[in-house]
Structure 1
Amino acid sequence: MGDVSAESGDVAEVLTEFHHALVHDRSPHTVRAYLADARALCAHLNTLGRRLEELDVATLRSWLSGMHDSGASRATVARRVAAARVFTAFLTRTGRLAADPGPMVSAPRQQRSLPGVLDEEKTATALDNSSPPGDSAAALRRTAVVEVLYATGIRVGELCALDLDDIDRERRTLRVWGKGSAQRVVPVGAPALAALERWLRDGRPQWATPSSGPAVFLGARGGRLGTRTARRDVHQCLDREEARNGSSSPHTLRHSAATHLLNGGADLRSVQELLGHASLQSTQVYTHVSVERLAHTYNQAHPRA
């Protein structure tokens, strides 16, 4: 929990009770963070010469403003707002505050950086040149990994979790297990399916062992492919100046797949389903990527831009 003995008797007692209230339904990490934030808020009150019962909206805002001025990130401030709300709700519930000021304090909006997106034509060229004839098992796997990630937009962890019976060759789909064990079926294009078949026919048998199980993608020792090795495969395939626009990671391929689909006329709901987003808001960031590219093209090409 951390040492509360250095606090005044009343504050130490409150923090101890707050800790006991937190541990019932929150993770140890959240408990530590919220308790530290509550202690910092109490210290701020003490600096102002105010008692806990005098905690109000102005005090909360001055505490948060001080963090912002000291260079705390938006994410950090947002977490401390959440902690303060839980703390003030606890104080109100236990009769230490007459009214709860927490709901009157808003968290800063999170800035979402636009994802890097690969150029469509250059990505296709890089994929076409990624696996010359006679490649090793490692190269066959690398090509299949990149092709499948780009064709489906699935997460790297979802790719590594694929089993052999998740492949439906007749329908050209993959069954994917996403976050929270949510299952979805995603289509896979012909080039990706061909690369996958080459890996399964010529590459996987070289590394498969009796303990490999049903994993589609294997490491060199026969175990299921790990996400770190899959990231390295992507990096090796795409880390070329002519194919790269920012980074060369599995998430870059996911961003690129979504954006290229939207650029090609796909509707947002279909892309949401493909990516496995629970909320449409998570998918809407890709529309900003497309608009940004459109604006860049317009500014370059239009005579009166």
Structure 2
Amino acid sequence: MSVVAFPSQPSPATLPGTAGMTTATAVERFLDSLTAATTRAGYTETLTRLATVTGPEHPVAALTPEHYAAVMDRWKAAAGATWNRHLSALTSFTVWTQRQELLATNPARRLERRKTARRGDRAIPRTRLETLFTNGAHAFRERVLWRLLYDTAARAEEILTLNVEDLDLEFRRARVASKGGAIEYVHWATPTARLLPRLLAGRTSGPVFLADRRAATSGRRAPAAADICPVTGRGRLSYPRAEYLFKTASAELDPHRQGWTLHQLRHSALQHLAQAGRTAPELQAKSRHQHLASLGRYVRLGEETSARITADADPIRRRRPR
């Protein structure tokens, strides 16, 4: 029996298109290739760190597991879901570079996904949410963002990537690019409708939620033109910054003093609607999940329902007047 030898894997130096291609350039091209703004925003933090770890002149063909390990070291103490999210960004980038014949190896091969812990009730009590939304000690921009996230039950990436042109103030809705790039609408209620015009202050284009400082006009930190306000010159508020501000502000109300996440606003909105008796199809319309089964973790009635049932069944409770 004859044995046919498979050709050996080509070295990175022989792959077409690798000459002069740096990791930083490959990261830019990969992010530009993503059509879904939410995906691009989610991957940017991880891959920007990769470009920083390797340096501006490092060839993408020479990426190693050590480089990826250095990137993930930042999140070694994070929750499993956070670790997996950043690892997914690296994995997607690796697959893209291999398809472009820029990389012959898999630098992510030594990294493993982590098990995510089952979480209990993640909904934030309504009274504490209202305290956050109305506390003047917090910046107006943050309070509008939090209220909008809760009103729409939208993903944080969807709201942070909104431009003024996406808003339909008359019908209290906004056009968002959801997972997979589909164009959908989210809707808000009166509290948000009263706040948004004040936040926009007459602006008619550019990002809805702006960073505190003017954006860099050149260099590696310069954002895309679509992420700069043409009136103020400020860039788009980033997800990490918005998350940090919310966790910091909510820590004083969190019994565990850890603060809550922006995603918990979406979770809270859907769970509060479920507690109010909304049906699964109604919740699906609000959340825009493709499958009803995906709503399971949101509609499990949690702590508030448990407390109400316990109080109603208390044998020592005051008798209701007849």
TM-score w.r.t. structure 1 length?
0.53
2:235 aligned with 1:232: no
* Residues 69-108 of structure 1 aligned to structure 2 (within 5 Å): none
* Structure 1 or 2: more helix by fraction: 1
Structure 1 residue 193 displacement after superposition: 2.3
Alignment partners' CA distance in 2, 1:163 and 1:120? 29
Contact 1:145 1:233 in 2 (8 A): no
Structure 1 residue 188 displacement after superposition: 0.5
User: Corresponding residue for 1:122?
Assistant: 128
Amino acid corresponding to residue 143 of structure 2 in structure 1:
T
Identity of aligned residues (%): 25
Amino acid corresponding to residue 282 of structure 2 in structure 1:
S
Structure 1 residue 131 displacement after superposition: 5.6
Amino acid corresponding to residue 179 of structure 1 in structure 2:
K
Structure 1 residue 184 displacement after superposition: 1.5
User: Corresponding residue for 1:158?
Assistant: 158
User: Corresponding residue for 1:188?
Assistant: 188
Structure 1 residue 158 displacement after superposition: 0.6
Change over 3 Å in CA distance of 1:156–1:267 after alignment to 2: same
Alignment partners' CA distance in 2, 1:246 and 1:269? 34
Alignment partners' CA distance in 1, 2:290 and 2:314? 42
Alignment partners' CA distance in 2, 1:192 and 1:232? 22
Number of equivalenced pairs: 189
Alignment partners' CA distance in 1, 2:137 and 2:285? 30
Change over 3 Å in CA distance of 1:243–1:125 after alignment to 2: farther
Change over 3 Å in CA distance of 1:256–1:183 after alignment to 2: same
Contact 1:153 1:254 in 2 (8 A): yes
User: Corresponding residue for 2:209?
Assistant: 217
Gaps of 5+ in 1: 1-9, 18-72, 77-108, 133-138
2:261 aligned with 1:269: no
Alignment partners' CA distance in 2, 1:273 and 1:188? 13
Amino acid corresponding to residue 121 of structure 1 in structure 2:
T
Cα RMSD (Å): 3.5
Gaps of 5+ in 2: 10-79, 85-114, 215-233, 317-322
Contact 2:149 2:266 in 1 (8 A): yes
Alignment partners' CA distance in 2, 1:182 and 1:266? 25
The CA deviation string for residues 211-247 of structure 1, in whole angstroms up to 9 with x for no partner, is xx62111112211111111112322432322688974
Change over 3 Å in CA distance of 1:245–1:187 after alignment to 2: farther
Which SS does the other structure have where 1:223 is aligned? strand
Larger of the two Rg values belongs to structure: 1
Contact 1:144 1:192 in 2 (8 A): yes
Structure 1 residue 254 displacement after superposition: 0.9
Contact 1:146 1:237 in 2 (8 A): no
Change over 3 Å in CA distance of 1:265–1:301 after alignment to 2: closer
TM-score w.r.t. structure 2 length?
0.51
Change over 3 Å in CA distance of 1:117–1:155 after alignment to 2: same
* Residues 40-59 of structure 1 aligned to structure 2 (within 5 Å): none
Change over 3 Å in CA distance of 1:214–1:153 after alignment to 2: same
